[in-house]
Structure formats: C-alpha cells, structure tokens
C-alpha cells in the first residue's frame, strides 16, 4: 500500500507553463508516466522523458493520466520512490 505523494515517485512528470518572462514554471499537477500513453507518431520534435509509454495512436491523441503532486493514491501499484 502506497503512503507517499505522487511528486515523490520516479514516474511523476510535472506539467510546466510559461510565465510572462517565458520562464518555465512547474505547476502542482503532472503526468503519471506509468499510466499515461503518449503518441509515438506525433509530428514535430516532441521530447518525452525516459520511461514514457509511446504507442501509435490515431490522430496523434495521447491518453494522459494527470495527478496532483500532493495526491496520495494508496492503491497505486506503479509507485517507485525517488532516491
């Protein structure tokens, strides 16, 4: 049983937004890389983090699994603690 927040997991990839100065700012939400599916066939220079699940998806539509960084999902079997 997991008792740690999502931000403490290796599979947590924070979402970022740009500020007025074009400086990336982390938000309080992110992708769970073990549960999100990203399009392999997306055009452009899209970069995904190591461990991301890539599949050929119709119309390049991904299937994100978004979590809040402070969420504690006790039933999560994908949790792997950061060192």
pLDDT by residue (tens digit) across 66-76? Answer: 999 999 999 99
45: in domain: yes
Check if the beta carbon of residue 51 is closer than 8 Å to that of residue 11.
yes
Check if the beta carbon of residue 17 is closer than 8 Å to that of residue 25.
yes
How many domains is the chain partitioned into structurally?
1
79: in domain: no
Residue 7 phi, psi (nearest 5): -65, -15
48: in domain: yes
Q: Which tens digits make up the pLDDT trace of 6-16?
A: 999 999 999 98
Say whether pTM exceeds 0.75: yes
Question: Domain range holding 39?
Answer: 6-68
CA distances to 52, 59, 63 from 13, in Å: 9, 23, 14
The pLDDT of residue 50:
85
Check if the beta carbon of residue 43 is closer than 8 Å to that of residue 60.
yes
């Amino acid at each position: 049983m997991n008792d740690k927040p999502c931000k403490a997991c290796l599979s947590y990839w924070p979402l970022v937004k740009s500020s007025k100065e074009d400086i990336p700012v982390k938000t309080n939400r992110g992708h769970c890389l073990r549960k999100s599916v990203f399009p392999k066939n997306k055009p452009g220079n899209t970069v995904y983090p190591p461990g991301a699940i890539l599949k050929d998806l119709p119309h390049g539509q991904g299937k994100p699994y978004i979590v809040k960084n402070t969420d504690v999902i006790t039933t999560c079997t994908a949790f792997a603690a950061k060192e």
